[in-house]
Amino acid sequence: MTHDPPVLIIGAGPAGQLSALSLARHGIACDVIDRRVEIGAAPKAHAVNARTLEICQRLGIDAQDLRAQGASANDGGWVRFMGTLSGPEFGVLPYERQDNAALAHTPYPLSNIPQPKFEAVLEAHVRAEPLVRLRRGTQCAGIKTVDGGVIATIEDCSTGIARTCTYDYVIAADGAGSQTRDALGIAMEGPEVLENFITIHFEADLRSITDARTGVLYFLFDPDNAGVLIAYDRARTWVLMHTYDPQSETLADFDAQRCAALVRGAVGASELELSIKNISSWAMSAQIASSYRKGRVFLVGDAAHRFPPSGGLGLNTGAGDAQNLTWKLAAVIKGEASLDLLDTYESERQPIARINSEQSLTNAAKIIDLFILLHGLDPTKASEHYAALCANPSGIDALPDVVEAQRPHFDSFNLQIGYRYASAALPGAEPLPAASAIETSAFHPQWDVGAHVPHYWVTQGATTTSTYSLLPMNRFSLLVGPQAPDAFKVGGMDLDIRRKGCDFDGGFDWCDATGLPASGAVLVRPDGHIAARFSGTENDPELALRAALANALMVQPGSIS
């Protein structure tokens, strides 16, 4: 169908805005609509992990500037298990890998950036992008699929005035309660409600209480004040997560006065000066959409998956969704790939969501072990049991082991950057193992089909840079060994070709790292994942390369010119 722009994105959260920017970098225009008139002020997610920062950098968003928006590694580098914020302390663990040691595997270690700040940076780039048109205070009131396109009814939220627009494709990035997903009849699989929480966003300067025990997450086990405190900014911005039973209470029961009392109890300071900014409720879920698409409409981010927050994987999984889907959509819209390629979005991304969801559930379950240890098994005697332990915390023999068992919850480095894909577009890729067999923390660089090209610090002339800087985000690239045949340097294909020892050097030994001879080569997709490997001894390297590109785009080999 003929219209402009070809893509509608519903929702201007992180997944929606990253989708828009990625499409624009591929030369595809889009509309972005969001019911919210402005970015929500209440903090939500805070962990922006290494892969998400890498994606941002490749989209032209300075990742180091982004990291500067977050908490320092000292403030945001620890998780503490406490009675109340004032004490006692039962244990401490590092929060993810934010130190210089992470630079061996990523140029941009995880940073704790409040979601409103992250969205604001994304929006500034979206507003500056001429191929993206962002409209706030606007919603999609209906979708109808027709031959060759989608008719969307776009409604102004304040006036109710609606108009119809026609798009080639729609990306639904409208969050966990996605109305688009519901309208399409796509079911969610998994438990809808694991636990219910009241989120209390408040402002207070808690530096004097936390200077000696800095952190980003404080798990509180005092039976009268249990909950989780999140420090977005120790000098000002905090959130208390407080469990409640919706069968006996409602959100209306938690007014500002009650919430202030809950905060003071959690902090352990009855005279604390604070300001309640926002009070909301939410249900912890562990659900994956049964399908990631219906016809020409695709789900990304929280619309496709709802994780427990234990692990900080939700926002970041959405960033991976956006990266995976958009290069494929762009290739199809531009006539470079077949429609079949779009089926691989679900087959590649849904397994990653299932793995991340299962790990998040495991993390949440392990926290229960600490409650059992500190509260005992009899709920009626929890306070008595807890008081006895606090009188002699050094006598809790099992405590160090139970705290250590929480470590995978707060060190998911391999889940962040070590995920790989298997699909019909990746012949030779090994099937993904069961989630229980995947290492959460230990990352080992891989050069296999489906894996992401590893980061190494390499040199280009006098400049030291990451291997990621060698990879354009809007087309395929070919990394070749120092003795790769010139036949790989064929004309007519839109490829960036980089030769080890010529276009870049240092960083890693080609043969040892890739497992390929010096004559070998690696074909890399626009999303940084490896599409094919070559030994360089093929009878016709050019023919082999064209066939690999055809496989990656799911087209006939003869169509690659």
Q: Mean pLDDT score of the chain, rounded to an integer?
A: 94
Contacts of residue 165, Cβ cutoff 8 Å, sequence gap at least 6: 3, 8, 31, 151, 152, 154
Same domain, 93 and 161: no
Contacts of residue 512, Cβ cutoff 8 Å, sequence gap at least 6: none
Percent share of the chain, pLDDT over 90: 85
Same domain, 344 and 464: no
Is residue 2 included in any domain, yes or no? no
Average pLDDT over residues 498-522: 95
For the stretch 21-74, pLDDT in tens is 999 999 999 999 999 999 988 888 899 999 999 999 999 999 999 999 888 887
Average pLDDT over residues 498-514: 95
Give the three-state DSSP class for 256.
helix
Is residue 450 included in any domain, yes or no? no
Same domain, 133 and 34: yes
Per-residue tokens: 217: 């997450």
Same domain, 129 and 214: no
Same domain, 200 and 166: no
For the stretch 333-391, pLDDT in tens is 999 999 999 999 999 999 999 999 999 889 888 999 999 999 999 999 999 999 988 88
Residue 140 has pLDDT above 60, yes or no: yes
Residues 233, 239: contact at Cβ < 8 Å?
no
Can you tell me the distance from the alpha carbon of 510 to that of 484, in angstroms, rounded to the nearest whole number?
A: 11
Same domain, 252 and 308: no
Is residue 98 included in any domain, yes or no? yes
Residue 510 has pLDDT above 70, yes or no: yes
Residue 1 has pLDDT above 80, yes or no: no
Average pLDDT over residues 392-407: 88
pLDDT band for 559, please (50, 70, 90 cuts).
Answer: confident
Contacts of residue 538, Cβ cutoff 8 Å, sequence gap at least 6: 544
Average pLDDT over residues 482-496: 72
Residue 395 has pLDDT above 80, yes or no: no
Residues 403, 91: contact at Cβ < 8 Å?
yes
Question: Does 5 sit behind a cis peptide bond, omega within 30 degrees of 0 on the bond before it?
Answer: yes
Number of domains in the chain: 3
| CATH number of residue 510's parent domain | 3.40.30.120
Can you tell me the distance from the alpha carbon of 437 to that of 419, in angstroms, rounded to the nearest whole number?
A: 13
Same domain, 157 and 22: yes
Per-residue tokens: 259: 């919430």
Domain that holds residue 120: 7-70+113-190+286-355
| CATH number of residue 252's parent domain | 3.30.9.10
Is residue 432 included in any domain, yes or no? no
Angle formed by the axes of helices 14-25 and 314-333, nearest 10°: 30
Per-residue tokens: 299: 């789900």
Residues 218, 231: contact at Cβ < 8 Å?
yes
Q: State the alpha helices, DSSP H only, in 336-446.
A: 343-375, 382-391, 399-404, 413-417
Give the three-state DSSP class for 391.
helix
Residue 254 has pLDDT above 50, yes or no: yes
Question: Does 454 sit behind a cis peptide bond, omega within 30 degrees of 0 on the bond before it?
Answer: no
Average pLDDT over residues 437-456: 96
Is residue 426 included in any domain, yes or no? no
Q: Do strands 138-146 and 149-156 pair parallel, antiparallel, or not at all (unpaired)? A: antiparallel
Can you tell me the distance from the alpha carbon of 416 to that of 261, in angstroms, rounded to the nearest whole number?
A: 37
Residue 489 has pLDDT above 80, yes or no: no
Can you tell me the distance from the alpha carbon of 295 to that of 343, in angstroms, rounded to the nearest whole number?
A: 10
Based on C-alpha coordinates, what's the Rg of the chain? 25
Cut 0.85: pTM above it? yes
Is residue 108 included in any domain, yes or no? no
No. of H helices and E strands in the chain?
Answer: 14, 27
Q: Do strands 111-112 and 47-48 pair parallel, antiparallel, or not at all (unpaired)? A: antiparallel
The whole-number pLDDT of residue 492 equals 53
Same domain, 78 and 65: no
Average pLDDT over residues 255-270: 97
| CATH number of residue 325's parent domain | 3.50.50.60
Is residue 480 included in any domain, yes or no? yes
Q: How far apart are the first and last CA of the chain?
A: 26
Is residue 217 included in any domain, yes or no? yes
Same domain, 274 and 291: no
The whole-number pLDDT of residue 440 equals 93
Q: State the alpha helices, DSSP H only, in 177-313.
A: 179-184, 207-210, 256-267
Burial track 265-304 (b if 16+ CB lie within 10 A, e otherwise): bbbbbeebebebbebebbebbbbbbebbbbebbbbbbbbb
Q: Give backbone dihedrals phi and psi of 384, rounded to 5 degrees, phi first.
A: -65, -45
Same domain, 278 and 406: yes
Residues 271, 119: contact at Cβ < 8 Å?
no
Same domain, 264 and 300: no
Same domain, 77 and 61: no
Residues 358, 436: contact at Cβ < 8 Å?
yes
Residues 148, 166: contact at Cβ < 8 Å?
no
Sign of CA dihedral 26, 28, 29, 35: negative
The whole-number pLDDT of residue 561 equals 61
Residues 132, 16: contact at Cβ < 8 Å?
no
